[in-house]
Chain A
Amino acid sequence: EVFQRVLVTYFECK
């Protein structure tokens, strides 16, 4: 299955 992770999994919330 192909999916996209949301960006918060790559970048921290400030």
Chain B
Amino acid sequence: MLELRLLQGSLLKKVLESIKDLVTEANFDCSATGFSLQAMDSSHVALVALLLRSEGFEHFRCDRNISMGMKLVNMAMMLKCAGNDDIITIKADDGGDTVTFMFESPNQDKIADFEMKLMNIDSEHLGIPEAEYQAIVRMPSSEFARICKDLSTIGDTVIISVTKEGVKFSTKGDIGTANIVCRQNATVDKPEDAIIIEMKEPVSLTFALRYMNSFTKATPLANIVTISLSSELPVVVEYKIAEMGYIRFYLAPKIEE
């Protein structure tokens, strides 16, 4: 028996909106730790890792570890039927082949349940070790989204370079080139407006903007995004989900041979 009651149901709606175009189907895993997912895009160069910790749910019952395969566009369609202020409860029976999403309006005057068929998904699960990154950039998530959107009008790839001068996002395309430099700016009025760069060594990596733009669909989940970079390692783009966990995107760099 699984029963997870999330007071801030909009969080789950936003999570689905941020991953449904990157990943078509995925196994949601539920254990005492929480509700989690790890899935790769169809070309296996990008990965999303989600964790919503059990403590973040108002009620969290998970009698045994369970993995539920879901088609994400279908799940997103169902969650779109929940109001932004609704409480969402996820329910499933052990060994069952369906999951139920229950939506309660804040004043309890409307209760809806949507039952969705589960599917069997064979997916590779990757062990991602904690790594020391050469550079970690924390910046407003909206600023990062704007940069990715602007650069993708010029080119297909972005070179992210971190030096002591700051972080530079560059692209080039048929019509020209673009460079956007953000300098460390820790002395702003609001902490969420700060750009903080922790650099152990300079690093420069190239990524496909198509994926970066897809990751920025998680912008409504967090004011701050953290970008962790190391040579020869996939970049990690992390959005912390208030007091509940995180959504992390990994993307393999483009390499010249």
- Tell me which residues across on chain A come within 8 A of B250, comparing CB atoms: 7
Given known pairs A8-B44, A10-B233, A10-B234, the reply for A3 and B126 (CB within 8 Å) is no
B188: interface (CB < 8 Å): no
Given known pairs A10-B233, A13-B124, the reply for A2 and B44 (CB within 8 Å) is no
Please state if B255 and A2 are interface contacts (CB–CB under 8 Å).
Answer: yes
What is the bound-complex CA distance between A11 and B148, given in angstroms?
26
Q: Bits for B126-137, please: 1 = Cβ < 8 Å to A, else 0.
A: 111100000000
B189: interface (CB < 8 Å): no
- Tell me which residues across on chain B come within 8 A of A7, comparing CB atoms: 40, 44-47, 126, 234, 250, 252
**Category for how many chain A residues contact B:** 10 to 19
Q: A8: shortest Cβ distance to chain B, in Å?
A: 7
Mark out the residues of chain B between 4 and 23 whose CB falls within 8 Å of any chain A CB in the assembled complex: none
Of chain A, the residue at the smallest CB distance from B124 is: A13
- Tell me which residues across on chain A come within 8 A of B233, comparing CB atoms: 10
- Tell me which residues across on chain B come within 8 A of A12, comparing CB atoms: 126-127
- Tell me which residues across on chain A come within 8 A of B256, comparing CB atoms: 1-2
Interface centre among A4, A9, A12 (most CB of B within 10 A): A4
Please state if B255 and A4 are interface contacts (CB–CB under 8 Å).
Answer: yes
Please state if B125 and A5 are interface contacts (CB–CB under 8 Å).
Answer: no
Of chain A, the residue at the smallest CB distance from B253 is: A4
- Tell me which residues across on chain A come within 8 A of B187, comparing CB atoms: none
Mark out the residues of chain B between 37 and 86 whose CB falls within 8 Å of any chain A CB in the assembled complex: 40, 43-47
Q: A12: shortest Cβ distance to chain B, in Å?
A: 5
B223: interface (CB < 8 Å): no
Please state if A14 and B127 are interface contacts (CB–CB under 8 Å).
Answer: yes
Q: B67: shortest Cβ distance to chain A, in Å?
A: 13
B217: interface (CB < 8 Å): no
Question: Which residue of B45, B127, B206, B253 contacts A6 across the interface (Cβ within 8 Å)?
Answer: B45
Of chain B, the residue at the smallest CB distance from A10 is: B234
Q: A4: shortest Cβ distance to chain B, in Å?
A: 5
- Tell me which residues across on chain A come within 8 A of B128, comparing CB atoms: 11
B122: interface (CB < 8 Å): no
Please state if B44 and A6 are interface contacts (CB–CB under 8 Å).
Answer: yes
Mark out the residues of chain B between 187 and 206 whose CB falls within 8 Å of any chain A CB in the assembled complex: 206
Please state if A3 and B257 are interface contacts (CB–CB under 8 Å).
Answer: yes
B254: interface (CB < 8 Å): yes
What are some 7 contacts across the A-B interface (CB < 8 A)? A3-B255, A4-B254, A5-B252, A7-B126, A8-B124, A13-B125, A13-B126
Q: Which 5 A-B pairs have the closest CB atoms?
A: A11-B126, A6-B44, A14-B125, A14-B127, A4-B45
